[in-house]
Amino acid sequence: MAGELHLDILGTSFTITADEDEAYLQKVLAQYRAAVENTQSISGISDPLNVAILTGFLLCDEVNKVKQQMEGTSIEIEQRALNLIAKLDQALKTCDDG
């Protein structure tokens, strides 16, 4: 379901259409506004273009860190599963031998 969202941020105003519902788009916009406010407060930058660029960079950094954490978790889960399979194989072999 396509949704429309009117953006008015950092002195720029436009409307976007996306394949998401309006509630989701509003949620994303609220997150972006919060990220922009955070960037402005920690950097002291006031130029809208610089704020937008730095905010985008910081959000990409956050996404990559989350991806790395998820990949690490995935590897850990896979290793645990393999260890359990090995233990089950050993237990079944012991039962067959007995």
pLDDT tens digit sequence for 52-61:
999 999 999 9
Give tens-digit pLDDT for 63-96: 999 998 888 888 888 888 888 898 888 888 888 7
pTM: 0.69
Range of the domain at 66: 3-97
What is the rounded distance in angstroms from the CA atom of residue 54 to the CA atom of residue 72?
27
